[in-house]
């Protein structure tokens, strides 16, 4: 798993390494050498017909860029420095050292004024941004803003690659927010670790293809921090290692029986999509508990599912059937398409009272819990009863649902989505998949930032598919936090697979569920 750092966390690791093991100039050399090697691989035959331009600031990020320029010239690549500072400007100690070193090595320097005046006359094959790095705390103005705007315009009109060293200037490293003047990178070379701003939008749109360059700075100084929240992303290799095994000598009983409690009258689609997601994720059996009116369409849509139905006037028989269904389940989904009637409220409460297996709450279950105390009272009673402990509960709210549940205004929630989600998970003792463009999966002690997905997921029904995947992974033995993170990753990969074939505009939720097979095929064969 890749740890995603804040600027403060990266600075702490960097400072600790410098103070205990490795001089700062050695670390800068490692960073610049790794960047130069990466750029060398990107440069194609066009390099013979033009130059690489490196925009550099006055801090250590500028020092990385200046040293990278010298190393690129050693590789025989025509490289020109464009400083955002004057020769008598105030530079960081490391930047000043590298600038003097570059001048002594006859690295060409073009003033910012000359670059801005003559940009269109230059023959540039790549622009590299080393202006600000992860320490940016203010809006970008002045010469730096002008250089960024000119670089973006030139790269767009000439269709050349743009590379950011560590992070594109203008992205705020902790939030993904951007300055009015932000370098638009086609590639970003993150030093040692990815930062939150690489993945969070809108910064992700200015990051381009992200490559993390390992320069051997340990993150161990962050271990055991009381106030720290470790944030990770998964990779395909992580997912391969975490996926439950599929054995040749097996039967449906060992792959989990998923109970989907979902769907009021005329709302069978949510139940269908959740059940389809569960089956496509590998569930052995899926039972849908829903109203009788949904029987025929569900049996038509998904004949593989087991149906247990009720009529709204069945009285206590509803809860007897529900208790029997709950007792058979390996994991439960509750809420999709249930509506917010008193009957729906009672069913959600009964599931929470009776369940002894991981349970995923979504949609109307969350809406009911946002304005009623009944379900929270059941949860509280079970937590106080050691003879019937509450099993893991996973909630999968989108931002509006999360806002209603937590009481945090939507703007405040979106302003720091990771922290808000983690704090609320810690307060409630639940696991959250707080869905967003970059979903946050957290139990309040650890968080995962999901890197997969496309805008194809921004369509009704996709969240229902996610619930079925999540419950299946729980039923097959995944630790619930990991199950939620894996489900988000796989769901996003399925959206990427469909988008590659159909574009992001047209895919339907059931097509994303169906694409899970393609994702598993790649993950389980590409070893």
CATH number of 237-525: 3.40.1190.20
Kindly state the DSSP code that residue 234 receives in the 8-state scheme.
Answer: -
Kindly state the DSSP code that residue 486 receives in the 8-state scheme.
Answer: H
- pTM value is 0.94
pLDDT-derived band at 521 (thresholds 50, 70, 90) equals very high
3-state secondary structure of 442: strand
Domain 2-223 has CATH 3.30.450.40: no
Phi and psi dihedrals of 15, rounded to 5?
-65, -40
Span 347-390, pLDDT tens digits: 999 999 999 999 999 999 999 999 999 999 999 999 988 888 99
Question: Is there a contact between 35 and 213 (Cβ–Cβ < 8 Å)?
Answer: yes
Q: What is the dihedral of CA 44, 47, 49, 54, to 10 degrees?
A: 140
pLDDT-derived band at 45 (thresholds 50, 70, 90) equals very low
- Please give the structure tokens belonging to residue 1: 């798993």
What percentage of the chain has pLDDT greater than the value 70? 99
At 210 the pLDDT is: 97
Residue-range domain boundaries for the chain: 2-223, 237-525
How would you class 430 by CB atoms within 10 Å of its CB: exposed for 0-12, middle for 13-18, buried for 19 or more?
buried
At 80 the pLDDT is: 96
Peptide bond into 202 cis (omega under 30): yes
What are the helix (H) ranges across 374-457? 374-383, 399-406, 410-415, 417-428
User: Distance between alpha carbon 119 and the CA centroid of its chain, in Å?
Assistant: 37
Kindly state the DSSP code that residue 134 receives in the 8-state scheme.
Answer: G
For the chain, the C-alpha Rg in angstroms (whole number) is 27
Closest CA to 193 of 212, 179, 217: 212
Kindly state the DSSP code that residue 75 receives in the 8-state scheme.
Answer: T
E strands along 226-367, which residues? 231-233, 257-261, 285-291, 306-310, 331-334, 359-361
At 227 the pLDDT is: 79
Question: Is there a contact between 297 and 269 (Cβ–Cβ < 8 Å)?
Answer: no
Beta strands 162-165 and 187-191: pairing type? Answer: parallel
Question: Is there a contact between 333 and 260 (Cβ–Cβ < 8 Å)?
Answer: yes
Kindly state the DSSP code that residue 121 receives in the 8-state scheme.
Answer: G
Beta strands 2-4 and 187-191: pairing type? Answer: unpaired
């Amino acid at each position: 798993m890749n740890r995603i750092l804040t600027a403060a966390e990266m600075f702490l690791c960097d400072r600790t390494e410098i103070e205990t093991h490795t001089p700062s100039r050695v670390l800068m050399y490692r960073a610049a050498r790794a960047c130069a090697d990466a750029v060398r691989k990107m440069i194609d035959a066009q390099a013979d017909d033009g130059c690489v331009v490196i925009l550099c600031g006055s801090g250590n990020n500028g020092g990385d860029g200046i040293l990278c320029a010298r190393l690129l010239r050693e590789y025989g690549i025509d490289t020109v420095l464009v400083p955002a500072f004057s020769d008598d400007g105030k530079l960081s100690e490391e930047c000043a050292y590298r600038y003097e070193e570059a001048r002594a090595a006859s690295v060409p320097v073009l003033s910012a004024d000359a670059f801005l005046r003559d940009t269109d006359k230059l023959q540039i094959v790549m622009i590299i941004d080393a202006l600000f790095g992860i320490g940016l705390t203010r809006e970008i103005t002045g010469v730096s803003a002008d250089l960024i705007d000119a670089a973006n315009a030139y790269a767009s009109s000439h269709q050349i690659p743009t590379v950011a060293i560590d992070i594109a200037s203008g992205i705020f490293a902790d939030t993904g927010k951007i300055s009015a003047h932000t370098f638009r990178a086609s590639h970003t070379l993150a030093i040692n670790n990815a930062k939150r701003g690489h993945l969070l939008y809108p910064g992700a749109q200015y990051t381009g293809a992200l490559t993390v360059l390992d320069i051997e700075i340990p993150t161990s100084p962050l271990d055991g921090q009381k106030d720290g929240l470790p944030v990770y992303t998964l990779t395909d290799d992580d997912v391969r290692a975490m996926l439950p095994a599929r054995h040749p000598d097996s039967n449906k009983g060992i792959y989990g029986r998923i109970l989907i409690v979902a769907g009021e009258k005329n709302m069978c689609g949510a139940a269908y999509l959740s059940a389809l997601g569960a089956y496509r994720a590998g569930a052995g059996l899926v039972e849908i508990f829903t109203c009788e009116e949904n029987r025929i369409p569900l049996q038509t849509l998904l004949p593989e599912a087991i149906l247990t139905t009720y009529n709204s006037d069945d009285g206590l028989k509803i809860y007897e059937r529900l208790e029997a269904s709950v007792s058979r389940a390996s994991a439960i989904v509750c809420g999709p398409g249930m509506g917010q009637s008193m009957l729906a409220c009672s069913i959600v409460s009964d599931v929470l009272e009776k369940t002894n297996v991981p349970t995923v709450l979504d949609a109307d279950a969350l809406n009911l819990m946002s304005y009623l105390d009944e379900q929270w009272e059941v949860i509280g009673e079970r937590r106080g009863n050691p003879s019937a402990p509450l099993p893991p509960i996973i909630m999968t709210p989108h931002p509006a649902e999360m806002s209603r549940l937590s009481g945090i205004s939507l703007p405040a929630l979106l302003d720091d989505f990771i922290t808000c989600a983690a704090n609320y998970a810690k307060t409630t003792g639940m696991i959250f998949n707080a869905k967003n463009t970059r979903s946050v999966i957290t139990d309040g002690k650890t968080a995962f930032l999901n890197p997969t997905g496309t805008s194809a997921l921004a369509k009704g029904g996709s969240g229902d598919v996610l619930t079925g995947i999540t419950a299946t992974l729980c039923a097959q033995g995944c630790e619930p936090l990991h199950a939620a993170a894996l489900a988000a990753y796989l769901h996003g990969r399925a959206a990427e697979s469909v988008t590659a074939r159909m574009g992001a505009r047209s895919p339907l939720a059931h097509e994303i569920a169906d694409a899970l097979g393609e994702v598993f095929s790649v993950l389980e064969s590409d070893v």
